[in-house]
Amino acid sequence: QSVLTQPPSVSAAPGQKVTISCSGSSSNVGDNFLSWYQQLPGTAPKLLIYDNDKRPSGIPDRFSGSKSGTSATLGITGLQTGDEADYYCGTWDSSLTAYVFGSGTKVLVL
Amino acid sequence: QVQLVQSGAEVKKPGASVKVSCKASGYTFTRYYIHWVRQAPGQGLEWMGRINPNTGVTRYAQKFQDRVTVTRDTSINTAHMDLTRLTSDDTAVYYCARDFYGSGSPFDSWGRGTLVTVSS
């Protein structure tokens, strides 16, 4: 049972937009910066968004992040077949003193 | 460039222990924490613990507190993760990753993962 809640899957046609939610509590999402990770099939996770809404070098601006209170959202615009992957949110939990991940969301490009 | 190179796949019997290594290069090893994250087949990511390579201080997830030990050898820029009393539930890919602050900064570089299979 993951501490952070994400929808199991989202889908859209190529070129369209999807959003993925990440819901937590005051001790994790509400208290710390949030990151998003992309895991392509058979590969290690890769940092996609950090500090709620910042993109590392090389990440296209089709990917965006936002946070409000104890929830966060990852947005992907101009969906491409190469975006098919699992996406995880993650942050520190100040009460558990542990890093916590979301349950993961599979993005399907129809 | 930053690299975290992990040791190879392992097959272990129930009750045994496993040691996975993570060799860092391309940055100053002692300036970034090393974390261990595992992923069981078809499942999500699970944080196990971390080490401050500069001080050797560790913190573990409560679930693994009595079975996991993370160490480091600064002479060879390598972190190790020992997991004891293995069961089939420990079959997973084990990743190492680094972050700057140890408590909430992003995992900006990951190893490729080490598959540990526990089977009789």
Model confidence pLDDT, tens digit, residues A6-34: 999 999 999 999 999 999 999 999 999 99
Is the pLDDT at A51 greater than 90? The verdict is: yes
At B93 the pLDDT is: 98
Among chain B residues, the shortest Cα distance to A44 is held by B112
Contacts with A32 from chain B: Cβ below 8 Å: 103-104
Contacts with B111 from chain A: Cβ below 8 Å: 44
Q: A89: distance to nearest CA of chain B, Å?
A: 10
Which of A97, A101, A103 comes nearest B59 by C-beta?
Answer: A97
- The DSSP code for B64 is G
Distance from C-alpha of B103 to C-alpha of B101, rounded to nearest angstrom: 6
Confidence of residue B104 (pLDDT cuts 50, 70, 90): confident
Report CB contact under 8 Å: A104, B45: yes
Cβ contacts below 8 Å, chain A against chain B, sum to 63
A3, with CB counted inside 10 A (0-12, 13-18, 19+), is: buried
Q: B105: distance to nearest CA of chain A, Å?
A: 7
Q: A47: distance to nearest CA of chain B, Å?
A: 6
At B101 the pLDDT is: 83
Q: A44: distance to nearest CA of chain B, Å?
A: 5
What is the mean predicted confidence (pLDDT) over B91-109? 93
Report CB contact under 8 Å: A98, B59: yes
The contacts of residue B98 (CB under 8 Å, 6+ apart) are B2, B4, B24, B27, B32, B33, B34, B35, B107, B108, B109
At A87 the pLDDT is: 98
Backbone angles phi, psi at B89, to 5 degrees: -70, -15
Three-class SS of residue B31? Answer: helix
